[in-house]
Every structure is written in C-alpha cells, then in structure tokens.
Amino acid sequence: MINYVWLRRDLRIEDNTALHNALEKYNKVQVIFIFDDHILEELPKDDPRVNFIYDTLEKINRQLNKHNSSLTCFRGKPEAIWEMLLKEKKVNSLHFNRDYEPYATLRDENILQLFKRNKIAAFSYKDQVIFEKDEVVKKDGLPYTVYTPYKNKWLTNYASIISTPLVDSKFKNLNNSQQPFPLKKELGIHPSLIKVKPFSLDQLDNYSKTRDFPSLDGTSYLSPHLRFGTISVRQVIALLNKEDQIFLSELIWREFFMQILAHFPKIQTNNFKSKYDTVKWRNNEEDFEKWCKGETGYPIVDAGMRQLNETGYMHNRVRMITAGFLCKHLLIDWKWGEAYFAQKLLDYDLSANNGNWQWSAGTGCDSAPYFRIFNPTEQIKKFDKELKYIRTWVKDFDELTYPAPIVEHKFARERCLRIYKEGLSKN
DNA sequence: TGAAATGTTGGGGCG
DNA sequence: ACGCCCCAACATTTC
C-alpha cells in the first residue's frame, strides 16, 4: 500500500510539509512528480524552467536513492496519471502541498474528487506561504487590497506563531523502489542554454541599500528557487537577520499578491480596477516588437530587456522601468508585457507578475497612480550613473551613436496623460 | 517605489 | 540704504 507525496512547486525533500507529514504517519512513502502536459504543451521544448525542474528532480532522485528509494516521474495529464495509478497500484493515500493559482486550484480540486470517489484518503497542506488567503484578512473578514495594512496584519499574526523549518528524521519510511529516472528526451525536454543560478544569501545583508542599483547586482537570485520550492519560505526567513525588514517585506509582497489572485481570480485577464477598462491602448505591434528585443532607443530599457532575453533574469528596478515604459510611453496593454515576462522570467509566478504589471499600468490594487511616469533618462542618473549596468547588457554602448528613441519622452508623457484621462472620463 | 510644473525664498548685482 | 531684477535652491502642487 503506497502513500504518495506529489511534488509540484515544492521541489525539495527538506522542510516539505506534505512529505514531512506523510513520513510521520506511514512507512511506505513514495515521492512522485508529473510533468503536466497542460503546462508543457504551452511552452517551447527547451524552456529553461522545465530544464531546471528536471535537473532539480534528478538531484532529488539521487537524494532518495541514498535512502533506498527513488522518484516516480511521469509526463502526462495529472488527472489521467492519477486514474491510471489508482487502477494499477495499491494506493493508500495522497499528500501534496497546496498551490493557489487558478489552474492549480482547479486541478487539485479534481484530483481530490477523484480520490474521494475511489474512497482513498487525500490530504493537502499549507507549505508555500506563511499565511494563506484567509489567514490575513480585515476585521470584517474581507481581504486586504492595500499592501501596508496587509503587511501590518501579517506581521502581527507572524509574531504570535512559531514558524521554523521542519526537521525530518524518518527518511527510513520512504518506499523501497529503484525505478530508473527518465532521460530528458524521454520526457520530450530539450536542453536549454539559459540556467537558473544558485541562490546566494551573502547579498541579503545590505539588500536594502543596494537593491535599487542594478549594476551592484545586490540581488539574491532567490526568486526562481522560491518559485519552484527548491528552498522554502520558512528556510528563507530563518536565514534572514532581524534587521532585514526590507527583504522580509518583499516576502510579504509575495504573499500579498498570492492572496489577491486567490480572492480575485478575474485579474488574470482583467484590470483589478475596472475604471481603467476604457483606456484606449495603442497596442502598436512594431513598438511592442522593439520593446521585446530591447531596441527602444532608451539604454536603460534596452539593457533590461536584453538581460531578460539573454539570462531569464531582470533586476527589480529595471523591471519597473521597462514595464512602466511599455504601459505609459508606448501605451501597450499590460497584458502583452505580462505575457512576455511570463515566457522569459525564470522566476515567473502568475500572482507576482500580474500584480506588478498592474501596479506599473496603474490598473492594480494599491498601484502606482497613472500619472506617475518614469523618465528613463532620470532613472539612469539616479540608479546607473556610471552606466555600468547599461554597458553590461548593451555592448559598446555609446551615447553619441546610440539609436534614437522610438518615441520622445516629453511627447510620450503628455500623450499618456491625455489617453488615460480620456479613458477615465468615459466612466 | 516619479517627474514636471509652479510657487517661494533669499542672496547678489546693479542703478 | 533701497528697489528691482535675476536666478538658483528648495518647497509645494499637479499630473
């Protein structure tokens, strides 16, 4: 009788709530991963994130081998795989950590139903976050839609709980199995040149001082690891110093946007604030193409987009600049930019990506006001004075010979203010 | 976690 | 000493 622990975006065997609980209760625990066709069919075969998942799973399989176990790995539609396993194996129970995205919520609901019909126990756990969507709410039970009061409540709640990484001692309860681990080509995965960097916590100490300066690379490269769960949020918090309030605040932003998406799933395809629905985007495809390639004639915008295209990363401040430029200067619907970032970012997460894009466009909850327009030239003066970041990504950058901006700042700014105002006046 | 436009202040040049 | 102008520096308002 097998007890399955189904990994999804919690790709680690340390401090994994579902695995921990299964190991505590049962002595035949089998870890499983399913490459989901619903997701993979939408991605190129050489997607770097799928490669990262594969590489991580291979590592997990080797860890499991040390405990005389192995990772079961499939590619297919999860509901079909589980139906098959329920028929072919003696399944005693299923355990997985909750995932709050709309697609994942629906998928998991269906799997829980399937197990219920088969009268087999299935358990889901909180693991991805410190607080789930209904654990940090206003007095009247409604969700917060403004960050600062949400954060205050989050911190109040956090002060009264104990949250430390779980320590596992019962790996002996892993199922004895020696299945061969599938090759990439057996799963239809092609290798990628773009790699996820290992995270480094050295940078966290002066994160609040350096985070705004893209050339200092004062970033932790933690985000893809949090996204795929190669490190848990509890482990990250345990590594922080007490004074890392800014970094902790970023982790709270993560949970803020997760609960926003869970409470307001319509934002996946709609403005959070519908009064912006009447803003008439220009949606010029040539402009969009130039933005994607990093050929806008604004060096800081181009550098950011080239970093993204070449590495799958983009410095946070530059994300705000490039996103703001697409929405405000080019007047292109934030959904276009969101979709592009979704393709390219190694740390892509629906809730954070959507939340931050809507912030940039001014359409989101607690967002930047529409008239707050970044001046790409001023931003260089403030945050990349030495042009170090720009020169890293725009080779041989030379102010005098650099291509002209695709749109002049003053003109674009005034056009943006006019178009937004006209849109809002239609309400 | 904005930037531009507009308003205010005060020092210096000058008649 | 005074009034006037200019303008930089800073503050406030506006988008």
CATH of the domain at A240: 1.25.40.80
The token pair at A205 is: 């100490």
Please check whether residue A234 is in contact with residue A165, taking contact to mean a CB–CB distance below 8 angstroms.
yes
Where among A104, A127, A150 does a domain terminate? A127
In a domain, A34, yes or no: yes
Same domain for A159 and A122: no
Q: How many domains does chain A have?
A: 3
Same domain for A310 and A215: no
Same domain for A101 and A236: no
Task: Give the active site residue among A92, A270, A309, A316.
Answer: A316
The CATH number covering residue A30 comes to 3.40.50.620
Please check whether residue A341 is in contact with residue A361, taking contact to mean a CB–CB distance below 8 angstroms.
no
Same domain for A72 and A161: no
Nucleotide nearest to A316 (CA to C1'): B1
Same domain for A276 and A252: no
Same domain for A68 and A50: yes
In a domain, A183, yes or no: no
Same domain for A416 and A273: yes
Per-residue pLDDT of chain A (427 residues; tens, 9 = 90+): 999 999 999 999 999 999 999 999 999 999 999 999 999 999 999 999 999 999 999 999 999 999 999 999 999 999 999 999 999 999 999 999 999 999 999 999 999 999 999 999 999 999 999 999 999 999 999 999 999 999 999 999 999 998 899 998 899 999 999 999 999 999 999 999 999 999 877 777 778 888 889 988 767 789 999 999 999 999 999 988 877 788 999 999 999 999 999 999 999 999 999 999 999 999 999 999 999 999 999 999 999 999 999 999 999 999 999 999 999 999 999 999 999 999 999 999 999 999 999 999 999 999 999 999 999 999 999 999 999 999 999 998 999 999 999 999 999 999 999 999 999 999 9
Same domain for A281 and A344: yes
In a domain, A285, yes or no: yes
Please check whether residue A191 is in contact with residue A51, taking contact to mean a CB–CB distance below 8 angstroms.
yes
Residue A359: active-site member: no
Please check whether residue A24 is in contact with residue A170, taking contact to mean a CB–CB distance below 8 angstroms.
yes
Task: Give the active site residue among A6, A154, A336, A357.
Answer: A357
Where among A227, A248, A263 does a domain terminate? A263
Nucleotide nearest to A378 (CA to C1'): B3
Same domain for A74 and A13: yes
Residue A316: active-site member: yes
Question: Is nucleic acid strand C under 7 Å from A371's C-beta?
Answer: yes
Which range of residues forms the domain containing residue A363?
266-425
Where among A217, A239, A263 does a domain terminate? A263
Task: Point out which residues pair with A3 in neighbouring strands.
Answer: A29, A93
In a domain, A172, yes or no: no
The pLDDT value recorded for residue A218 is 67
The CATH number covering residue A320 comes to 1.10.579.10
Task: Give the active site residue among A334, A336, A359, A393.
Answer: A334
The pLDDT value recorded for residue A84 is 98
Residue A58: active-site member: no
Same domain for A315 and A258: no
Question: Is nucleic acid strand C under 7 Å from A419's C-beta?
Answer: no
A419: how many CB neighbours lie within 10 A of its CB? Answer: 17
In a domain, A184, yes or no: no
Same domain for A275 and A235: no
Nucleotide nearest to A417 (CA to C1'): C15
In a domain, A346, yes or no: yes
In a domain, A2, yes or no: yes
Residue A250: active-site member: yes
Residue A357: active-site member: yes
Same domain for A343 and A222: no
In a domain, A178, yes or no: no
